[in-house]
Structure 1
Amino acid sequence: MNYEKLMEVFNLMHDRYGPQKWWPGDSEYEVAVGAILTQNTNWRNVESALENLKNANSLDPFTIDEMPAEQLATLIRPAGYYNVKAKRLKNFNHWLITEHDGQIEQLNNKSIDTLREELLSVNGIGRETADSIILYAVKKPTFVVDAYTCRIMLRHQFIDPYADYEQVKDFFESCLPADVELFNEYHALLVQVGKNHCKPKAKCAGCPLESLPHELDPMF
């Protein structure tokens, strides 16, 4: 039953917004870097930071690993929290080089659970970022959960108010087939609904999910 309900949600969003074709990037490595830079900022700022790295011929794990943190922070300044993110990028690149020869393609050889555990061991890589790298860069089926996902699922009574990240992730993965394209589009479409309608102060009028049962929880 949950499969049918979740697919109804997906189809309503897809009919409204169409395919999102996430994640933008010219390479798997660029996608992974973007997943780290997008923490607590919007994508336009990330694009500016990525463009700076490209213009400096620095969008490369070995270059970033050898670059002084201050120089890297200057290049990624548009993404915000640039000193923190510079450290996180360097941590990620050091791990990628020491454990996988700097070749992101090698991550394909890992199981999802093993790869996720490794990524979460990198200082500054949290669950949402790790899952984004696995889904969008490595193209393995793990569901990405964010604040939009939780808010929409709670308001439409799919989850309880105290469900944590892993519980929401397990809910999707237990109800839907493990399909990279489906997980990719589903998460991207939820982000669109969250940005346009399911904000902390909801704008239900015109939402593609308006026809579905929902209630506004005061915790949001």
Structure 2
Amino acid sequence: MSAAAGKRKVKNIMNREKLLLDMFSALHGELGSSNWWPADSAFEIMVGAVLTQNTNWKNVEKAIQNLKQRNLLAPQTLLDLPQDELAALIRPAGYYNVKAKRLRNLLLWFDDIASCSFSALDHMSLDELRAQLLTVNGIGQETADSILLYAFKRPSFVVDAYTRRIFNRHSLIEEDIMYEDLRDFFMDVLPHDVHLFNEFHAHIVRTAKKWCTKSKALCETCPLRSFLE
């Protein structure tokens, strides 16, 4: 790479960092703190990350409440529960047989690698822990990053369909961009800060639901309207 090309690359990275931070500031100024993920414990977040696959949060809340009412929301307790009973309890979350199996896979991994202790994984780097999570059958990239960011408090940026929609409409990414490339779009330039990643992802979701909907873009009142140019 020539010196000139190297300078252009550095400039482009700096420009993207500034743009993303400016967009975050605009969203945060309009929306305030999001206080995500709503849960009483890191383990509850881990369970919720599996249950929220292909459903809305209200359904997840009903499933988690079923577990709480029976004092089952603990790693070893859920592991000891027969899979069909677990499936029946999480039925409100949909795809309950599939999710019961995926949740059990995650619990078996957690027990095997750390005896169900979050602190036992403190020595692992973000990349090592992410690679481990992705070996669990039923845990995809978005679910793994959600668990890393919200349960393990690791700076792993979560991207989803909302992220793709908003940033494609702002002509910053291609619509068919791969998950890892979209994640890198943020991870490569932003400070690796858990609070920043938490709030940014939450703001993206809230913006997509209120202004940048799938069927209609309400750009005139959107906090990101000044970035359309």
Conserved? CA contact 2:17–2:189, under 8 Å = yes
Q: Return the offset for 1:100.
A: 0.9
Q: Return the offset for 1:52.
A: 0.7
Aligned equivalent of 1:193: 207
Which digits, 9 at most, give the CA deviation of each residue in 1:109-144, with x for residues without a partner?
211111111101000000000000000000010100
Q: How many residue pairs align between the two structures?
A: 214
Conserved? CA contact 2:165–2:175, under 8 Å = no
Q: Are positions 1:206 and 2:224 aligned together?
A: no
Q: Return the offset for 1:195.
A: 0.9
Q: Return the offset for 1:27.
A: 1.0
Aligned equivalent of 1:79: 93
Conserved? CA contact 1:105–1:138, under 8 Å = no
Q: Are positions 1:109 and 2:137 aligned together?
A: no
Tell me the distance in 1 between the aligned counterparts of 2:217 and 2:123.
44
Tell me the distance in 1 between the aligned counterparts of 2:176 and 2:103.
32
* TM-score in terms of structure 1 length: 0.94
Which digits, 9 at most, give the CA deviation of each residue in 1:156-204, with x for residues without a partner?
1221233211011111011110000000000000000111122222232
Aligned equivalent of 2:31: 17
* Segment of structure 1 superposing worse, 99-108 or 179-188: 99-108
Q: Are positions 1:61 and 2:79 aligned together?
A: no
Aligned equivalent of 2:62: 48
Tell me the distance in 2 between the aligned counterparts of 1:94 and 1:43.
25
Q: Are positions 1:94 and 2:102 aligned together?
A: no
5 Å matches for 1:3-42? 3-42=17-56
> What is the one-letter code of the residue matched to 2:224?
L
* Segment of structure 1 superposing worse, 62-71 or 99-108: 99-108
Tell me the distance in 2 between the aligned counterparts of 1:180 and 1:91.
26
Which digits, 9 at most, give the CA deviation of each residue in 1:3-62, with x for residues without a partner?
111112111111111110111111111111111111111111111111111111111111
Over alpha carbons, which structure has the higher Rg?
A: 2
* Segment of structure 1 superposing worse, 92-101 or 107-116: 107-116
Q: Name the SS of the counterpart of 1:157 in structure 2.
A: coil
Task: Select 2:177's aligned residue among 163, 166, 169.
Answer: 163
Aligned equivalent of 1:218: none
Aligned equivalent of 1:130: 144
Measured on the aligned residues, the alpha-carbon RMSD in Å equals 1.2
Tell me the distance in 2 between the aligned counterparts of 1:181 and 1:202.
30
Tell me the distance in 2 between the aligned counterparts of 1:185 and 1:108.
23
Q: Name the SS of the counterpart of 1:110 in structure 2.
A: coil
Runs of 4+ in 1 over 3 A off after TM superposition: none
Identity of aligned residues (%): 50
> What is the one-letter code of the residue matched to 1:52?
N
Q: What residue ranges of structure 1 are gaps of 5+ in the alignment?
A: 215-220
Q: Name the SS of the counterpart of 1:34 in structure 2.
A: helix
Q: Name the SS of the counterpart of 2:188 in structure 1.
A: helix
Q: Return the offset for 1:211.
A: 2.4
